[in-house]
Chains A and B, each alone.
Chain A
């Protein structure tokens, strides 16, 4: 029990994060005050939410590169809706955001499922399409803080039990996913489809439908984050969260979710996102230019995927190592 715990990727990653925090704390104790750590968590909340959605997609051997564009489009739509109808209550906006996001996820999923187009092509395509649609509907204009209603902007910042609602949403999504992944047939199907699609078919799982469901989940979470993002930063324009999809994939890869599908955990995705979030927030504290962040997350992806590959390799007898990799 203890030995498996020590070997698990989550423990290693958790330890790495702890070492990172301690290293920063030794020089800059202000970084580890509870209020600052809560800030870091709140700042990382969108990444955590999106990483969980991305995780189920990657589990089923797909990838969703359209999450950031989906987020931006949903954010723009709800922001425009808010300028037209300032009286619209926040729960309705939340429902609209989630549904719109899910719809865009469904489009990805249907293209992958019904037309059998490789996931990376579908989502590369929809990424540019969604991003372009933002320009079409907004005409390239910004929607600024003074055009949004106060209740619209207040929701993610509302403090409940010491944490902003944005953080609570992330915690809620993490718990929800822990249950979904660990306790439901759908959660098991995600692993089965990614682990061995052929065997999954024989056990009565509809592979395409499961992949489509993963995309809908990922899209719904992107939509939800879209509203939270726009409301938190109180601005919506074409390029919000540009390139964020790579950070999301990076969080998953760092969290030990195998890009080949079938391997991963909610804890891993959470820790992967937290790792990136801490690095991002620590850079200005330790006086390193924020321009370093891109290179650091790139190196983290490469190191993490190399680490995952070497720890996976010990499993089973490797007879034709290279041929296996090649296929």
Chain B
């Protein structure tokens, strides 16, 4: 069993006698490389379009990634623990549909928020129960629930749309806290800090890494592996609910095709942020920088009138390139040594 879990040579770990100093580690870290990319993208963009450096434009640009990044934080923890949730975009659709339905029933903003969060949690609990309760592979389960959740939205809505959200509800997606700083951006920053603390400073965060690196070892060292994973599915569902509130509020309408294809972008963001797709390693600062990179690239392309689908080619290439790059380098290094 232990043999089977170390499938690829990349999984084999060499533990050095002593760790390098934090500064040395930072200098060769993925996060620094990514930060360089972010700065380069920023500079290139400001040369490419005269409209890029306008504060309001930059503020608008943050909407490209804040909602996705909120999910990406939770997804990062989930992927580090060795699972994945491909149903996040469908959870947004279902939560948004539930909120739209409640609006038709005459619900007000606080109720809508509660409904959004609750539907997110319930969907996460459903995924988590199937994965940890019955022991099904998360990738299949969430491919299934991806169809199921969005399918329910389609059943409820068909080709119609819900509109007529109360004006106080618009604050979550369209409100500004101070000058150009939007509510969503503040929420994004707060959540980034919260998730960074959870992952890097708490026992639970440590457990997430352990579960991802060696589930059997984690079990034997007294970590309740299924419970940790269930909690992470709940968290991912909850964050999808939060993103659903922001997105619905920003769009002011619900269609069943809302947030279509976001699961791919969220996973790309997480992987671009240096999280190992096989689990076991990754950091929240990396995901934060990746969110900025993707948001700036999308926005810059948008200013240059590049169509959305061409941007998706770029994101696809980015996804493969970031994972391939370290592997190619490692293979070249191994060849040079031999």
Whether the Cβ atoms of B324 and A306 lie closer than 8 Å is no
CB distance from B5 to the nearest CB of A (A): 5
The CA-CA distance from A324 to B5 in the complex, in Å, is 10
A197-B7 in contact given A295-B148, A326-B215 (Cβ < 8 Å): yes
20 A–B pairs (Cβ distance < 8 Å), ordered by A: A111-B320, A116-B327, A121-B319, A124-B316, A128-B264, A128-B313, A128-B316, A132-B313, A136-B310, A198-B4, A246-B143, A259-B137, A260-B137, A291-B158, A292-B155, A298-B150, A302-B145, A320-B216, A322-B219, A322-B225
- From B151, B216, B319, contact of A298 by CB (8 A): B151
Whether the Cβ atoms of A135 and B310 lie closer than 8 Å is yes
Q: Is A129 an interface residue (CB 8 A)?
A: yes
- From A128, A305, A326, contact of B136 by CB (8 A): A305
Number of chain A residues whose Cβ lies closer than 8 Å to a Cβ of chain B = 56
- From B211, B278, B309, contact of A132 by CB (8 A): B309
The CA-CA distance from A310 to B313 in the complex, in Å, is 40
Whether the Cβ atoms of B139 and A125 lie closer than 8 Å is no
- From A197, A198, A301, contact of B140 by CB (8 A): A301
Other 14 A-B pairs with CB < 8 A, given A122-B320, A132-B313, A301-B147: A115-B323, A117-B320, A121-B319, A121-B323, A128-B264, A133-B313, A140-B307, A246-B147, A259-B137, A298-B146, A309-B136, A320-B216, A322-B225, A326-B225
Q: B323 — which chain A residues lie within 8 A by C-beta?
A: 115, 117-118, 121
Name B133-186 residues within 8 Å CB distance of A.
134-137, 139-141, 143-152, 154-155, 158
Q: Is A18 an interface residue (CB 8 A)?
A: no
Q: Is A9 an interface residue (CB 8 A)?
A: no
Q: Is A265 an interface residue (CB 8 A)?
A: no
Residues of chain B at the chain A interface (Cβ within 8 Å): 1-5, 7-10, 82, 84, 130, 134-137, 139-141, 143-152, 154-155, 158, 211, 215-216, 218-220, 225-226, 256, 264, 267-268, 271, 277-278, 307, 309-310, 312-313, 315-317, 319-320, 323-324, 327-328
Whether the Cβ atoms of B155 and A291 lie closer than 8 Å is yes
Whether the Cβ atoms of B226 and A299 lie closer than 8 Å is no
B-contact bits for A218-262, CB 8 A (1 contact / 0 none): 000000000000000000001000000010011001000001100
Whether the Cβ atoms of B215 and A301 lie closer than 8 Å is no
Whether the Cβ atoms of A298 and B147 lie closer than 8 Å is yes
Q: A197 — which chain B residues lie within 8 A by C-beta?
A: 4, 7
Q: B316 — which chain A residues lie within 8 A by C-beta?
A: 124-129, 132
Whether the Cβ atoms of B141 and A302 lie closer than 8 Å is yes
Q: Is A293 an interface residue (CB 8 A)?
A: yes
Whether the Cβ atoms of B310 and A132 lie closer than 8 Å is yes
CB distance from A55 to the nearest CB of B (A): 14
Whether the Cβ atoms of A129 and B313 lie closer than 8 Å is yes
Give the residue among A63, A115, A125 with the most B Cβ atoms within 10 A: A125
CB distance from A303 to the nearest CB of B (A): 9
Whether the Cβ atoms of A301 and B136 lie closer than 8 Å is no
Q: B8 — which chain A residues lie within 8 A by C-beta?
A: 116
Give the residue among B4, B9, B313 with the most A Cβ atoms within 10 A: B313
Closest A residue to B87 by beta carbon equals A298
A-B contact count (CB 8 A): 171
Whether the Cβ atoms of A125 and B146 lie closer than 8 Å is no
The CA-CA distance from A128 to B320 in the complex, in Å, is 11
Closest B residue to A304 by beta carbon equals B144
Whether the Cβ atoms of B320 and A116 lie closer than 8 Å is no
Residues of chain A at the chain B interface (Cβ within 8 Å): 63, 111, 115-118, 120-122, 124-129, 131-133, 135-136, 140, 196-198, 238, 246, 249-250, 253, 259-260, 289, 291-302, 305-306, 309-310, 320-327
Q: B136 — which chain A residues lie within 8 A by C-beta?
A: 305-306, 309
Q: B158 — which chain A residues lie within 8 A by C-beta?
A: 289, 291
Whether the Cβ atoms of B264 and A253 lie closer than 8 Å is no
CB distance from B122 to the nearest CB of A (A): 15
Whether the Cβ atoms of A246 and B312 lie closer than 8 Å is no
A305-B216 in contact given A294-B154, A322-B225 (Cβ < 8 Å): no
Whether the Cβ atoms of B1 and A306 lie closer than 8 Å is no
- From A118, A124, A302, A323, contact of B216 by CB (8 A): A323
Q: A324 — which chain B residues lie within 8 A by C-beta?
A: 1
The CA-CA distance from A322 to B218 in the complex, in Å, is 11
Whether the Cβ atoms of A131 and B319 lie closer than 8 Å is no
Q: B143 — which chain A residues lie within 8 A by C-beta?
A: 246, 249-250, 301
A298-B149 in contact given A291-B158, A309-B136, A327-B216 (Cβ < 8 Å): yes
Whether the Cβ atoms of A321 and B135 lie closer than 8 Å is yes
Q: A127 — which chain B residues lie within 8 A by C-beta?
A: 264, 316
Whether the Cβ atoms of A125 and B319 lie closer than 8 Å is yes
Whether the Cβ atoms of B312 and A295 lie closer than 8 Å is no
Whether the Cβ atoms of B148 and A302 lie closer than 8 Å is yes
